[in-house]
Amino acid sequence: MTTTAPETGALEAVFEAAVAADERIEPRDWMPDAYRATLVRQIAQHAHSEIIGMQPEANWITRAPSLRRKAILMAKVQDEAGHGLYLYSAAETLGTGRDELLDKLHAGRQRYSSIFNYPTLTWADVGAIGWLVDGAAITNQVPLCRCSYGPYARAMVRICKEESFHQRQGYELLLALSRGTEAQHAMAQDAVNRWWWPSLMMFGPPDDESAHSSQSMAWKIKRHSNDELRQRFVDICVPQAESLGLTLPDPDLRWNEERGHHDFGAIDWDEFHEVLRGNGPCNEQRITQRRRAHEEGAWVREAAAAYATKHAAEHGEATA
């Protein structure tokens, strides 16, 4: 094995130089095993989040209160399935398969975003998800458009465009409620109260507890720390909440002139860890529905495969 060491060293040097020069790493390029593994984990988790994330919103498709809102929501859920497909494709360039990743999701061996373990209890939750959850996702994802791994970065460019559109629609939904009847306004405020803190948790644990952060930043997979992005998100949301005519449920939230940022209250990290451990309000429900859809669809996928095999064989014989 010692004979290959200098060669690996040379490859590693080329890789490091490419990352340092802000060049994109492409699927056929050499990359460290750990870089590959980190990307598979992150892209898979991202893809899974799109797929599981369809559930809380799809929960309201059949109850959307106007046909216009129903069309917007259906289009959004459809986009999420599309984002899942882009991301599974990006993950596949790293030498894994969609089926394998889905199996890991179903077995609980890969994660999805903790936010989708919260329930959508009213129509206003659909707006709060658009404004806050998609808003947090965009804050996280825009820097990923410059991620060092090419296929992931390119997927993010496409996804961010669509996500920004959804986010504006969510904001507009809340605005309509906030300016509507008293009951609608109360519904909007209640949804923001329930989604605000979980949205802040979407940026992950604080910097001093984030296991993968420093290596990901060195590899330029990540460009900013969790706490930096969380602060950016809070600073963006405060004026938006004001123009919505809604309040954010944090008594400690105030402008800090000295820092040029908003100070905000302490996040309940115990809750965050419980949700990650599988003990959030909807963890069980979400994964059960996903598994059931997959299991109940098995005969359909088998039929498609059998049909393809049959007809590929016929075609092969005809042309042979």
Q: Which of 39, 44, 77, 159 binds another protein (CB under 8 A)?
A: 77
User: Taking contact as CB under 8 A, which single stretch among the options 11-19, 27-35, 263-271, 305-313 is the one that binds another protein?
Assistant: 305-313
287 binds another protein (CB under 8 A): no
37 binds another protein (CB under 8 A): no
What's the closest the beta carbon of residue 62 comes to another protein, in angstroms? 5
Residue (107 or 293) nearer to another protein, CB: 293
312 binds another protein (CB under 8 A): no
Q: Which of 11, 145, 160, 176 binds another protein (CB under 8 A)?
A: 176
| Count, residues near another protein per rule CB under 8 A | 50
What's the closest the beta carbon of residue 274 comes to another protein, in angstroms? 24
317 binds another protein (CB under 8 A): no
Residue (101 or 192) nearer to another protein, CB: 101
**CA nearest to 246, candidates 192, 310, 300:** 192
Give the residues lining the site for another protein (CB under 8 A): 51, 54-55, 58, 61-71, 74-75, 77-78, 81-82, 84-85, 88, 123, 173, 176-177, 180-181, 183-184, 289, 292-294, 296-308, 310
